[in-house]
Structure 1
Amino acid sequence: MTSSDFDQFRPPRPERRRGGKGKRRGGRGRGGDDLMVPQAQVEHLDSRGYYGHPVVKAPPWEKEIAAYLVLGGIAGGSGVLAAGAQLTGRMRLRRNARLAGLGAAGAGALALVADLGRPERFLHMMRTFKVTSPMSVGSWILMGYSGMIGVAAAGEVDRLLGERLPLGPLRPVLRAVEAPAGLGGAVFGAPLAAYTAILLGDTAMPTWHDMHRDLPFVFVSSASLAAGGLALVTTPAAEAGPARNLAVLGVIGDVAATRIMESRMDPVAVEPLHDGLPGTLMRWAEGLAVVGGLGALVSGGRAGRRNRLIAALSGATLVAASTCTRFGVFHAGMNSAQDPRYTIEPQKRRLAERRAAGIIDDSITGL
């Protein structure tokens, strides 16, 4: 007889009894009592899952993926901000946003590789392009953004070093392609800030799946306030006007989109966003966003221009708010996979709604 790691999940089997003619009672034949699931558990299967175990399996993602969600948002928002600074002639804001975008994209790629375990696994993801896979599309978005922002940032670094990079005859080429690459960073930056929301919503995790309609708006707003906040930390107030405006608009969008998202979610599927660590992170995220947004507004006045500390503290607060939002969403989705209730009760409610609407002849309601 062989054993398996899954033997611990098997239900206890009643003792077999043998009659005088070798007949067994309690088998799986007609009249047998050897049920795979006891009747008491069958009656409560719809609320407890299979022997109390999760109905869906959570992805094997660790904190590195949560960090990638944060860094991807900062990178994408910084790419868009850098392009705006490029078009309006704000050279220091352009430089700082480009360098921030490249740094965040590089750190995010390292976090992604750390979660994959081996660097070559990331390269394997680039062998194909599958438009129906958010992960495949997102990998190519990250590569496209990194290439564009990398070229633009290389030009900034070369100027910072007094044109001492060993470029030789490639320097005129770099100068020629730098501006188009900066605009290309914005083209890839916007989807980079949003695609991770689509990736989460495309999974079977109850909370992530239920927020799939509104989570992209939350993540784009979160990326905007984070990128604007980081620019407030690194850029003098005289050129930080667009960063300040982006941060304030991001705060308004983040708070509004999060509230709307929660109001549109199933009352059971939204619970992980309010309980435990995710609930604490989401509450901190809203509070920090409001405080940072107010600080950004104050930093735009005369007192703020004289005191760089106000802008820097406000910017750091906004980056912390974005971090709390994305870590809160990440942990809420992972937690929702642990309790069968978050999967089964929304399914039963959707089934009842379809039947009440008269949909009774499809593969879902016809069962």
Structure 2
Amino acid sequence: MPMVPEVEFTSYYGHPVVKPAPWGDEVAAYLLLGGVAGGSGLLAAGAQLTGRQALRRNARLSGLAAAGVGAVALVADLGRPDRFYNMLRTFKVTSPMSMGSWILSGYSGFLGVASVAEVDRLLAQRLPLGVLRKVLYAVEGPSGLAAAVFSAPLAVYTAVLLSDTATPTWNAMHRDLPFVFAGSASLAASGLAMLTTPVGEAGPARTLATVGVVADVTAMHYMESRMDPVAAEPLHIGRAGTLLRWSERLAVAGGIGAMLGGRSRIASAASGLALLAASACTRFGVFHAGIESAKDPRYTIEPQKRRLEKRRAQGVTDDSITTGW
């Protein structure tokens, strides 16, 4: 019989074990805009290859605008623009922030060239380009396809950025969050394209929306099933829980509208708005769930204890997890 009863450790005077990330809603907005930009770049490339000029133009301009506003939101959170520039001084494959800075820069550069050509056509070639106009139109196509190479990494690298932290809920998502963000990016980009593009050319966007809904909802549920139940709890409570419940509802509604209302401009726009809102709810919901999980010691300690017990039950007694060394 033990002389001293078991002590249930929480944390030192109830303080958080993990310091919450000092990020505001600017970062959550950047998560969303990165998905919009990444998905739009892929849509634009598909439209370019299939001759859908309106969809190509709208997706290119939407993608560049999202990347630009997202960069502004990121710099606003960093506090000084030179902090972003400094991240481009090195190329470190083990740093999600370093890789993300290069991905964003490459995407914006290539898509910017293609978008300038689109703007020049919209203005009936009134931009003061001179002899550069022929060069611009010659490199427009390759630039649009090069931007698509950066599109998928741009859409999902922020998932790696979040799950690479010690924040309990984000870290518990590390295996599956990129798939959730890929589905979310599909919803955002297809929804925006359905809002801005006539129904005659928005067929690929509707197809992407349908696939995106299935991917987003399935990946989210699968991810939760593989998480520690305590680490997943912040996804269902408070502000994050409300946002994620609405995300699924809006995604399903938007997906049904995309499948059934393809011939109606109003139905297409309404479905697109629902899909865009669903993506926003997913990204903001995941963001706030992680922030809240770092504030309560329980979300750090209980999953750690379960992992320790599981390893001991498997007979592992000599590693750093079980010995503390």
Interval of TM-score (by shorter of Structure 1 and Structure 2): over 0.9
1:43 is paired with a residue whose SS is coil
Q: Which residue of 2 aligns with 1:7?
A: none
* C-alpha deviation, 1:120, in angstroms: 1.4
Deviations 1:290-337 (A, max 9, x none): 00111111122xxxx2x3110001001100000000000000000000
Deviations 1:16-75 (A, max 9, x none): xxxxxxxxxxxxxxxxxxxxxxx99x933x2x2111000011121001000000000000
Q: Determine the C-alpha separation between the residues in 2 that align with 1:50 and 1:133.
A: 31
* C-alpha deviation, 1:363, in angstroms: 1.7
Matched, 1:77 2:39: yes
**Which aligned pairs between 1:171-250 and structure 2 lie closer than 5 A?**
171-250=133-212
Equivalent position to 1:291, from 253, 260, 265? 253
Higher RCO (Cα < 8 Å, 6 or more apart): 2
Q: Determine the C-alpha separation between the residues in 2 that align with 1:92 and 1:183.
A: 17
2:228 is paired with a residue whose SS is coil
**Which aligned pairs between 1:1-367 and structure 2 lie closer than 5 A?**
43-44=7-8, 46=9, 48-300=10-262, 305=263, 307-367=264-324
Deviations 1:231-270 (A, max 9, x none): 0011111111000000110001000000001111101000
* C-alpha deviation, 1:366, in angstroms: 2.6
Normalised by the length of structure 1, the TM-score is: 0.86
Q: Determine the C-alpha separation between the residues in 1 that align with 2:268 and 2:61.
A: 19
Q: Counterpart amino acid of 1:348?
A: K
Deviations 1:70-128 (A, max 9, x none): 00000000000000000111111000000000000000001001101111111111111
Q: Determine the C-alpha separation between the residues in 2 that align with 1:364 and 1:117.
A: 37
Range 215-224 or range 115-124, more displaced: 115-124
1:120 is paired with a residue whose SS is helix
Structure 2: gaps spanning 5 or more residues: none
Q: Determine the C-alpha separation between the residues in 2 that align with 1:362 and 1:190.
A: 37
User: Where in structure 1 do 4 or more consecutive aligned residues deviate above 3 Å?
Assistant: none
Q: Counterpart amino acid of 1:212?
A: H
Q: Counterpart amino acid of 1:327?
A: F
Q: Determine the C-alpha separation between the residues in 1 that align with 2:13 and 2:88.
A: 40
Return the index of the structure with the highest Cα Rg: 1
Q: Determine the C-alpha separation between the residues in 2 that align with 1:363 and 1:282.
A: 36
Q: Determine the C-alpha separation between the residues in 1 that align with 2:139 and 2:222.
A: 42
Q: Determine the C-alpha separation between the residues in 2 that align with 1:162 and 1:299.
A: 34
Q: Determine the C-alpha separation between the residues in 1 that align with 2:144 and 2:315.
A: 53
Whichever structure has more helix as a proportion of its residues is 2
Q: Determine the C-alpha separation between the residues in 1 that align with 2:50 and 2:312.
A: 56
Q: Determine the C-alpha separation between the residues in 2 that align with 1:362 and 1:251.
A: 42
